[in-house]
Amino acid sequence: MEPMNDAMELFRHQRAVRAFSDRAVTDDAIDQILQAAIHGPSGSNTQPWHFIVVRDQAVKDQLSDAYEEGIREAYGDATPARGADRQPLSAAPVLIVPCVDTPPSNRAGFQTGASIYPNIQNLMLAARALGLGTVLTTLHRRRKERVHEILAIPEGIESAAIIPLGWPTRTYGPNRRPPLANFVMQDRWRS
């Protein structure tokens, strides 16, 4: 994918990328991407985010195994067919695990999500702006205890996603969406 600088075009070219080349992702690129991530909003400006950057192949393999177990648990025999270019998480050069502090109740809620998912979107858009690909995955949460153990995530912290990051194996065009009018209502809900 080519780098993009026009923000409005960037939104239209944000794609779920699940197949990566073995080309390395530089520390500088990771720093730029995470710098964008920490400039996202958070509930009450608490800035409760943390990001684990995983490059170690053994750790990526363990996370990938846990994720695959989550897929099997979620879908069972109805596991969705995978495209020929879809790779396991462990094939990505880098996995980024965004994490967020949980409130004293230790229960994640809307504010918790509002304090990490905007940052994840910034992360993904920054990666795309550099020509890198990502995809938002959350099925690892079905194996949360195992994932937290693998990554040594302490109590009071939740892993919000696993984001594979790398150079796509193919070129992607703009995403396809129905017309805006299909989603927008004025003043009240309409059926």
Mean confidence (pLDDT) of the chain: 91
The pLDDT assigned to 190 comes to 85
Give domain limits for the chain: 7-78+85-165
**Helix (H/G/I), strand (E/B), else coil: 117:** helix
The pLDDT assigned to 85 comes to 72
**Helix (H/G/I), strand (E/B), else coil: 52:** strand
pLDDT at 106 over 60: no
pLDDT tens for 58-95 read 999 999 999 999 988 889 888 777 776 788 999 999 99
Q: CATH: 3.40.1280.10, 3.30.559.10, 3.40.109.10, 2.40.30.10. Which one for 7-78+85-165? A: 3.40.109.10
pLDDT at 148 over 60: yes
Among residues of the chain, what percentage have pLDDT more than 90?
A: 69
pLDDT at 124 over 80: yes
The pLDDT assigned to 8 comes to 86
Binned at pLDDT 50, 70 and 90, residue 111 comes out as low
The pLDDT assigned to 129 comes to 94
What is the distance between the alpha carbons of residues 137 and 107, in angstroms, rounded to a whole number? Answer: 20
For the four alpha carbons of 61, 150, 140 and 110, in that order, the dihedral sign comes to negative
| Rounded alpha-carbon distances, angstroms, from residue 159 to 74, 85, 93, 100, 147 | 18, 27, 20, 7, 8
| Rounded alpha-carbon distances, angstroms, from residue 133 to 1, 35, 56, 122, 148 | 8, 17, 19, 13, 25
Reading the block at residue 61, the tokens are 């393999």
Among residues of the chain, what percentage have pLDDT more than 70?
A: 93
The pLDDT assigned to 107 comes to 59
pLDDT at 152 over 90: yes
pLDDT at 103 over 90: no
